[in-house]
Amino acid sequence: MTYATERLYEEVAYVAYHFHWPLDSILDLEHPERLRYLAQIGRLNALAEGR
């Protein structure tokens, strides 16, 4: 099974935008690890918005 290309682009863009990491560093993350960073970014954004 391959990971949906569009979803991968979304995840990479989200992490790159918030953490300013280079593409290679983000793509080197295993999928579960990348999902943990996505969740953490979401929590940080919610805290910043007062939610």
The domains of the chain are located at 5-48
pLDDT of 1-51, one tens digit each?
Answer: 567 999 999 999 999 999 999 999 999 999 999 999 999 999 999 999 997
CA distance 7 to 35: 11
Q: Which tokens is 9 given?
A: 């682009």
CA distance 3 to 50: 33
Sequential DSSP letters for 8-40: HHHHHHHHHHHH---HHHHHTS-HHHHHHHHHH
Q: Give the per-residue pLDDT at 1.
A: 56
Q: Give the per-residue pLDDT at 2.
A: 65
Which residues have a Cβ under 8 Å from the Cβ of 3 and sit 6 or more positions away?
A: 31
Q: Give the per-residue pLDDT at 51.
A: 79
Q: Give the per-residue pLDDT at 39.
A: 98
pLDDT of 28-42, one tens digit each?
Answer: 999 999 999 999 999
